[in-house]
Structure 1
Amino acid sequence: MNKEFLDALDELEREKNIPKEEIITAVETAVKTAYEKNFGGNTLVEVDRETGEVQVFLIKEVVEDPEDDENQISLEVARSYDPDYEVGDEMYFPIDPKDFGRIAAQTAKQIVVQKVKEAERQSTYSRLKDKQGTLVSGRIERINNGTIFLAIDNTEGILPVSEQVKTEHFNVGDRIKVFVMDVKDPNRPKASKNGPQVFFSRSHPGLVRELFKLEIPEIADGTVEIKGIAREAGSRTKIAVYSHDPDVDPVGACVGNRGSRVQNIVDELNGEKIDIIVWDEEPAVLISNVLRPAVVESVYIEENEQEKMAIAVVPEQQLSLAIGREGQNVRLAARVSGWKIDIKSREQLENSGFQFDEYEDVDEEKVAEAPEDAGTPAEEADEAAGE
């Protein structure tokens, strides 16, 4: 080993992002393992960080009467080297690594290669772990029994069937955006020897969240905040947004000029409908917003440590609109707001024996303060048409 070896490690560090010190430590471990496996004894191996020179020392313990000549040396012999040696001290005898022979050298080489691969896998894992919870673009390499395998940063990731959207269909060679759902440590027990396992999703709500960050500058810079998101992949998403700047309309920022911004997101999701809602700290206003396009007449609130419950009163003719097809509208509304919502008409509520004094009756005028633009006009038209 020499200076050229250290220069090669510098290049490896640049190209593979593997720390030079990590490789040198692996070499020291490899040489120590190789010698002890083939020749026995206890050794110390050191690589000079400046010259690349390898120094190997056989370690022997100083004892009165040696019982293990391989690892022990008598006090009498030790003092022939240095009269200051005492029982319990250790003596270091230099060994020439060239004397290891072919077998030992091959063993050392195999261990170094293994350590380099482990370090490379760990480096890849660290890089990909930083991308967990974000959006990445990858090329579909193969499809096996419905499971899609994508190439991301020289690593093959998995898009399981359970994380795909039933209405979407892709082919080998397609480039698609996916949400990085999980990255498994390659050095965990029973881990794959091929490196870190990366799992992607096309159905996770985080995919929509990251698409909004990508397309809407006001969300990317924090002016507009995504407060809640609920998704039934392939069908509809409700996303609640809030503006930290009173001069910025959160819905308008997300929709864009003539709907251009939100349309880019809809196109990426292959036509999935998106309701953009104004978030409000006042529960009645929030619930009124999330149930649009239905008009909410009043809201009764009951909040305790276990759950947050609300009854939203809507006109009789808008019950089906508020509930949505197969309950989708109210289901998404409850998830995006964090409230358990029951939909009733005024007549239904009165006929049910509802105890009005047990609930906080929110003023209808306060509910009416809900912004008129909560939810995009195009989405309201879809709801009204029963789509």
Structure 2
Amino acid sequence: MVRGRLFLILNFFVMRPQFFAAINQICDEKNIPYEKVLETVKAALATAYRKDFGSKEEEVEIILNETGEFATVLLVKEVVEDVENPNIEISLAEAKKMKGDVQVGDEIKIDVTPMEYGRIAAQAAKQVILQRLQEAERDSLYDMFKNRENEILSAQVMRVEGGSVHISVEKHNVVLGPRDQISGEKYYTGKRIKVYLDKVVNTNKGPQLSISRTHPNLVVRLLEMEIPEVAEGDVKVKSIARDPGFRSKVAVWADEEKIDPVGACIGQKGVRIQSVMDELGGERVDIIEWSKDPKEFIATALQPAKIAEVIIVNDGTDIRVRKRAAVFVEEEERPMAIGKKGQNVRLASDLTGFELDLYNLEQLPAFKEKLSELIKTDRRIGDEDLEDIPDGASDADEVIEAAASSLQASDGDWGSLSKAVVTKLEKAGYKNLADLNGMELPALEAIEGIGKASAKKIAKELL
């Protein structure tokens, strides 16, 4: 479309009414300032003139007048006593013939407007305009979006090709890659969506917009749009954990006691949070109250499960050791604490920043005794120190496997390993236990998806 309108601009450079209409249309389509397009056209006309009538050294000025019929071409020369370069200089005597009061050192502009241009000149001008318009469009795109990083943008789906979704963001085409799409969400031409602008990077191919529907901050920005208390800062989002398309947990806090941060976010009959979930394609958003007390925060983050007790093993004071907490639940609360495919405990861990180990409540006395012994040694407590607590699992991975332990692998070549472990091994390329013969514990732990607890179970099967 732009190439077609260049014909109007370059057709012997006549200032027909369509000329400025074509420029205005290019500005609207490409979101480029009118002045930039005019500068581009002037540069193209100057290039065309030099191509047919002048030389590369000549300084040419183009004047576009909406009331005139032709573009005016002026040749700019410096007035000198003795001319050394006629392309850029003119003698004082010659200059006085054109302008009586001219002096040495002045610039004089000579009207050299031709009545027509050659095909080669017009083609050269066309190439200049196309190149300059592309550069102007890239600059406009970068300037427009650079200061809007970390914001939500409204977009419309233009087409879907393979796994990528091409969308229009304020008249600019941007690709929403597969990793930035919400799992299970349907995209179709004309669909309006909101995307999160993560960052804008200037590359050799022009600015690249990194947009996402899966970024955790998309949820935060949607809360700001739907909830005035969040937008105004009365309610603060302290942390967020997200499993895009399925579930998010958001911790909120209000400094003023009279403000209920959770109630403000949920709204009357849940209308506020429902608007956010609708925009996310039905993704569940849990709002919980943040607490300065990590024990209370962890217990709340694991809702709807009822937590009996939380013990902070490592509070993050020593940066060499990751923050870790032991969570104790009644047997009947364990499945709820873990969640489907471990989702609840995983999101709670991300939300609180603590590695969470789940234990049965009856393990509490033994755990406290073991922890007390370790504290007396006055050394850092590592992951392996608390693995041998009797009568139960010591970490979330093993708890998840224990919950599925009744579903044993049907293939006899895997012994009594659970389906969860077998699936991970098969995904890593192992067909049966025989393929693992000779592997030591560290090698088993290095298999993707296999933790220390699972590695120990495999090692027992190999004995």
Could you tell me the TM-score, scaled by structure 2's length?
Answer: 0.61
Partners in 2 of 1:233 and 1:245 — Cα distance?
31
Question: Paired residue for 2:241, among 223, 230, 250?
Answer: 230
SS in 1 for 2:245: coil
Whether 1:260 aligns to 2:260 is no
- Alignment-derived partner of residue 328 in structure 1: 343
Q: Does 1:251 align with 2:262?
A: yes
Of 166, 190, 206, the residue aligned with 1:149 is: 166
| Residue in 1 that maps onto 2:319 | 305
Cα deviations by residue, 1:245-289 (Å, 9 ceiling, x for unpaired) = 321111111122222222333333344332212122333333333
Q: Answer 1 or 2: which has greater strand percent.
A: 1
Measure the CA separation in 2 of the matches of 1:96 and 1:303. Answer: 79
C-alpha contact (below 8 Å) 1:225/1:241 kept by paired residues: yes
Q: Could you say which residue in structure 2 is the equivalent of 1:126?
A: 143
Q: Offset of 1:145 from its aligned partner?
A: 1.4
CA distance in 2, matches of 1:290, 1:216: 22
CA shift, 1:229, in A, is: 0.8
Structure 1 position 165 matched with structure 2 position 182: yes
The percentage of aligned residue pairs carrying the same residue is 31
Q: Which of the residues 95, 100, 104 maps onto 2:121?
A: 104
Asked whether the equivalents of residues 218 and 224 of structure 1 are also in contact (C-alpha less than 8 Å), the reply is: yes
Task: Tell me how far 1:237 sits from its aligned partner.
Answer: 1.0
Cα 1:168/1:350, change in 2 over 3 Å: same
CA 1:63–1:289 in 2, change beyond 3 Å: closer, same or farther?
A: farther
Match of 2:226 in 1: 215
Provide the C-alpha distance between the structure 1 equivalents of 2:213 and 2:292, rounded to a whole number of angstroms: 30
Q: Is the 8 A contact 2:45 2:62 kept in 1?
A: no
2:312 aligned with 1:281:
no
SS in 2 for 1:303: coil
Q: Contact 1:163/1:204 (CA < 8 Å) preserved in 2?
A: yes
How has the CA–CA distance of structure 1 residues 9 and 142 changed in structure 2, closer, same or farther, with 3 Å as cutoff?
closer
Residues 145, 5 of structure 1: alpha-carbon distance in 2 compared, 3 angstrom cutoff: closer
Partner of 1:346: 364
- Give the structure 1 partner of residue 398 of structure 2: none
Cα distance in 1 for residues equivalent to 2:354 and 2:80: 75
Q: 2:59 aligns with which of 22, 33, 44?
A: 44
How many residues are aligned here?
A: 347
Quote the Cα distance in structure 1 between the aligned partners of 2:306 and 2:126: 71
- Alignment partner of 1:244: what SS? coil
User: C-alpha deviations, 1:19-70, integer Å up to 9, x for none?
Assistant: 344334334433443344443241223356999974533557979996xx66
- Residue 295 of structure 1 aligns with an amino acid whose one-letter code is I
What is the match of residue 391 of structure 2? none
Contact 1:236 1:274 (8 Å CA) reproduced: yes
Question: Normalising to structure 1: TM-score of the pair?
Answer: 0.71
Distance 1:99 1:43, change over 3 A: farther
| CA–CA separation in structure 2 for the residues paired with 1:57 and 1:65 | 16
> Alpha carbons of 1:100 and 1:44: their partners in 2 closer, same or farther (altered >3 Å)?
farther
| Equivalent position amino acid for 2:60 in 1 | V
Q: Unaligned regions of 5+ residues in structure 1, if any?
A: 360-387
**Secondary structure at 1:101 match in 2:** coil
Does the CA contact (< 8 Å) of 1:78 and 1:85 recur in 2?
no
Report the CA distance shift for 1:267/1:2 in structure 2 as closer, same or farther (over 3 A).
closer
> CA contact under 8 A between 1:140 and 1:174: conserved in structure 2?
yes
Considering only aligned residues, what root-mean-square deviation do their CA atoms show, in Å?
Answer: 4.2
Q: Which of 1 and 2 has higher RCO (CA within 8 Å, sep 6+)?
A: 1
Unaligned stretches of 5+ residues in structure 2 = 1-13, 97-101, 380-463
> Matches of 1:234 and 1:18 in 2, distance apart?
37
Larger Rg: 2
Distance 1:41 1:328 in 2: 68
Corresponding residue for residue 6 of structure 2: none
For residues 88 and 270 of structure 2, the distance between their equivalents in structure 1, rounded to whole angstroms, comes to: 82
Change (3 A) 1:14 1:154: closer
Does the Cα contact within 8 Å between 1:9 and 1:20 map onto a contact in 2? no
CA distance in 2, matches of 1:172, 1:112: 32
Distance 1:151 1:14 in 2: 17
1:221–1:79: structure 2 CA closer, same or farther, 3 Å change rule? closer
